Amino acid sequence: MADANDDTSHLIQRAIAGDQLALADLFDRYRDRLKRMIRLRLDRRLSARVDPSDVLQDAYLDMVQQLPSYHRNPDMPFFVWLRLTAGQRLQRIHRQHLGAAARDAVREVSLHRGAMPQASSESLAAQLLGHFTSASRAVIRAEMQRQLQAVLSDMEPVDHEIIALRHFEELTNQETAAILGLSKTAASNRYVRALARLQQALESIPGFLDTTAGRHRGDR
């Protein structure tokens, strides 16, 4: 499957020919999206030891090494491939720092294109709560996070992942479908159903929707 972006395809051609600036440009256009994915999926116990920028640097070197293989057989959109490459680097970093406990400590989600660290319920719950960190509300926030994590942990693995992909990583439906090995229609329908189930579950947490709505109003 050739990448739909002609400019990206042109950069790949130049990079394969040895153009170092093209390699850098190719990676930089996706850097922010990759960093968002890494922050979401990095085990929180490693946050003091592992800088997402260092993971990105390692992922860049992986891209340079593996780009010729992708170019010979571009069977997925370039960003989907690059994201997988970065995710597998993050997976190796988890194993390096967590040792034999990595597989149990950090759940890995095996998708259509291979395994990578799953976005934890703790990480997703923290994202949903956002910046609701007022000292006077700390106890309430902690309890809401506990309940959110329970809600997210109870979701089916595919629903959990599709929420992470679409809602938190902000991937397009086409990218999500490619990652999950689904048709675009199936991926869209699955996301709508998963989002409805999440919304229903959030409504069961006393005060959550009122609290987050108030926070968003305060941000305006």
User: In the chain, where are the structural domains located?
Assistant: 1-118, 119-220
Report pLDDT for 133. Answer: 52
**Is the model more confident about 47 or about 111?**
47
- Answer yes or no: CATH 1.10.3720.10 is held by domain 1-118: no
Report pLDDT for 220. Answer: 43
Letter string b/e over residues 154-180, b meaning 16 or more CB atoms within 10 A of that residue's CB: ebeeebbbbbbbbbbbebebebbbbbb
Give CA–CA dist 175/100, Å, rounded.
Answer: 32
Report pLDDT for 33. Answer: 96
How confident is the model over 205-215, as a mean pLDDT? 58
Q: Taking the alpha carbons of 147, 43, 37, 112 in that order, is the dihedral positive or negative? A: negative
**Is the model more confident about 47 or about 132?**
47
Letter string b/e over residues 21-37, b meaning 16 or more CB atoms within 10 A of that residue's CB: ebbeebbebbeebbbeb
Residue 89 pLDDT class (50, 70, 90 cuts): very high
Report pLDDT for 108. Answer: 52
Q: What's the CATH code, domain 119-220? A: 1.10.10.10
* pLDDT of residue 217 exceeding 90: no
Q: Is the pTM of this model over 0.85?
A: no
Give the mean pLDDT of the chain: 82
* pLDDT of residue 116 exceeding 50: yes
* pLDDT of residue 80 exceeding 90: yes
Give the pair of three-digit tokens for residue 192: 């709508």
Report pLDDT for 215. Answer: 47
**Contact by Cβ (8 Å): 63, 22:** no
Q: Do 1-118 and 119-220 have matching folds?
A: no
Residues in the chain: 220
pLDDT in tens, 126-179: 887 765 555 456 677 777 788 888 888 888 888 888 999 998 899 999 999 998
pLDDT in tens, 171-194: 999 999 998 888 999 999 999 999
Give CA–CA dist 155/208, Å, rounded.
Answer: 18
How confident is the model over 97-111, as a mean pLDDT? 57
Give CA–CA dist 24/11, Å, rounded.
Answer: 10
